[in-house]
Structure 1
Amino acid sequence: MAPPGYLNWLIDTGERQATACGREIEIWALNPQEDAAVLSEWSKHFREHYISDSDLPFMAGGTGLDHATFLRTILFPDAKVAPGPSLRSGDFGEIIVADFIQYFLGYWCPRELRYQDRWNRNDSTKGCDVIGFKFANEENPGPADELFIFESKSGMSTTDANRLQDAINDSIKDRLREGMSLNAIKRRFFDRGEMGDARKVERFQNQADRPFCRINGAAAILDEAVFAGTDFTATDGAVHFNQENLRLLVIRGPSLMKLVHALYERAADEA
């Protein structure tokens, strides 16, 4: 599958900052352009995390709602009523991180089911934010296989919080959430009869008997103003249980909340 065109706007700045514990933080920049074709492709990619375009006519049928209204009132987090806007920014950040590890780092990252199975549009999905899998040899699983679990935090309005530190702190909780999250993904594939994918997830459910490499990540997706006001040198990951395999990422961009809302609007209008 070809990467979404908007990823051409996600650029490694080459800038690196050091945390208080001596770890490296990668700084990437998202610089959207006024390109209608790419924005339409991006909105479709975004929309299909919530429902496939092939399923939309049936699911909207019988509601008396057109596709755009169905998406805005039944599936997408609310644009104005809390916690809808924060869920929008959070989902946006998770999807970008998922795209990052899939298309830039080469992991298999099944994530649509995380949003498609959401019963309440204004309630976040529980569990690990982003999970990626990489197989050195799919026919012969071995210790070089990788499980990558990323915690994502968005910061798109003025805040005193260090959102990267928040992501690290929540990543520590992934030690307990990992098993439940893998079970949930496996169950979703099982329920859909997609046994091959269910088995691929199952491969990572018992590290003692089937060794693999576990990598953890913490990401902050920040508006430029929030990025400028954050002291990343105070960030500390020393107490993380997987500190030897902890990747830290910051993605910054201009007027991100405006972009988020515009993306949801286009995703609805063009459905």
Structure 2
Amino acid sequence: MRGLICHLADAHKGREMTSTAAHLAWLESNGTYTSACGRNISVYRFNHDALDVVVMSDWAKHFRNHYCNDQEIRYLKNPTKTNSEYLISEKFPSELIAPGPSIRAGDFAEILIADYLQYVKNYVVPRTRYDRKIIANESSKGSDVIAFKKAPNAISDNDELLIFEVKAKASENTKVNILQNAIDDSVKDEIRIAESLNAMRQRLVDRKDFKSVDLVERFQREPDYPCKRSYGAAAVYTTSSLHENIVSTSDASRHPSASRLELLVVSGQELMSLVHELYRRAADEA
């Protein structure tokens, strides 16, 4: 745990969202499982503390800004609504109306894995997936998490494009192998990555973030300038639904890039309660 916190401190240096990654200090390595095809599955425990007001508040702001930048909310919302009312009714998936709760769990899991890749693994992870959704109670289309590593001021064949498929099971006491679902759906990323990069680029142009546009463009030039392409499959479970004997039946042998596929599992106690609390705080503190 101490090593991970030090790693986080190093990863935060010079980054814009330093305080928002404090919740990753709750992420603790919990060894590995072995898949049916003999691959290591990295396992993490998320020891969250919803009573830690400072960390939860920073995290809620970071989480909220995936859906609606705090600087823009005044101009986007219906003027008859408060910030909180706008976020709850038009931006956030519903807490009660299906499929809202499962969309909440899925978005939470994707953002958590994106944070892990950016702040622990030191990838660049543009956040463009949620803020222009037309229907709040639907999942965004395309690859779940796209991350980059690139040599500074140069194009190198060591530059890396990483595409992660993420699944969530936040309900209690279920027995399902969502890691296998993530592996199976990761196969589709080979087809949809061009569309996903194009969507990311368009959103970055809307933001006038041309430095990030240039980064995306480098990986759109992959046919002319080869790079490393890696894949990941992640499963985020509430603890009572994580069963090693079930997850270990996962088989990635049929994945077309199995040798470059990372397998990851994260679990946390009463995860759905945490998800709803995070959305509540994100709205109330807007």
Paired residue for 1:36?
A: 53
1:4, distance to aligned residue in structure 2 (A): 1.5
Q: Specify the SS of the correspondent of 1:138.
A: coil
- Contact kept? 1:237, 1:243, Cα under 8 Å: yes
Work out the CA distance in 2 between the residues paired with 1:125 and 1:230. Answer: 31
Distance 1:24 1:238, change over 3 A: same
Which of residues 166, 169, 176 is equivalent to 1:155? 169
Which of residues 29, 32, 42 is equivalent to 1:26? 42
1:148, distance to aligned residue in structure 2 (A): 0.6
What are the Cα deviations for residues 10-47 of structure 1, in whole angstroms up to 9, with x where unaligned?
Answer: 1112x111101110000001011221111111111111
Work out the CA distance in 2 between the residues paired with 1:187 and 1:180. Answer: 11
Work out the CA distance in 2 between the residues paired with 1:230 and 1:67. Answer: 45
Q: Establish whether residue 190 from structure 1 lines up as the match of residue 199 from structure 2.
A: no
- 1:1-271 matches, cutoff 5 A: 1=15, 2=18, 4-13=21-30, 15-33=31-49, 34-62=51-79, 64-111=80-127, 113-135=128-150, 137-157=151-171, 158-228=173-243, 231-271=246-286
Work out the CA distance in 2 between the residues paired with 1:228 and 1:161. Answer: 9
Distance 1:230 1:76, change over 3 A: farther
1:230, distance to aligned residue in structure 2 (A): 5.5
AA partner of residue 122 (structure 2): G
Work out the CA distance in 2 between the residues paired with 1:229 and 1:18. Answer: 9
Deviates more, 1:195-204 or 1:74-83: 195-204
Identity of counterpart residues, as a percentage? 41
1:75, distance to aligned residue in structure 2 (A): 0.5
Deviates more, 1:250-259 or 1:155-164: 155-164
Work out the CA distance in 2 between the residues paired with 1:166 and 1:247. Answer: 14
Q: Specify the SS of the correspondent of 1:117.
A: coil
What are the Cα deviations for residues 230-269 of structure 1, in whole angstroms up to 9, with x where unaligned?
Answer: 5122100001111111100000010000100011011111
AA partner of residue 99 (structure 2): P
1:229, distance to aligned residue in structure 2 (A): 6.9
RMSD, matched Cα: 1.3
1:207, distance to aligned residue in structure 2 (A): 2.2
Uncovered stretches (5+) of structure 2, i.e. residues with no partner: 1-14
Uncovered stretches (5+) of structure 1, i.e. residues with no partner: none
AA partner of residue 16 (structure 1): T
Work out the CA distance in 2 between the residues paired with 1:58 and 1:207. Answer: 38
1:74, distance to aligned residue in structure 2 (A): 0.8
Deviates more, 1:53-62 or 1:16-25: 53-62
Corresponding pairs, count: 267
Length-normalised TM-score, structure 1: 0.95
Give runs of ≥4 in structure 1 deviating > 3 Å.
none
Deviates more, 1:169-178 or 1:158-167: 158-167
- Contact kept? 1:162, 1:230, Cα under 8 Å: no
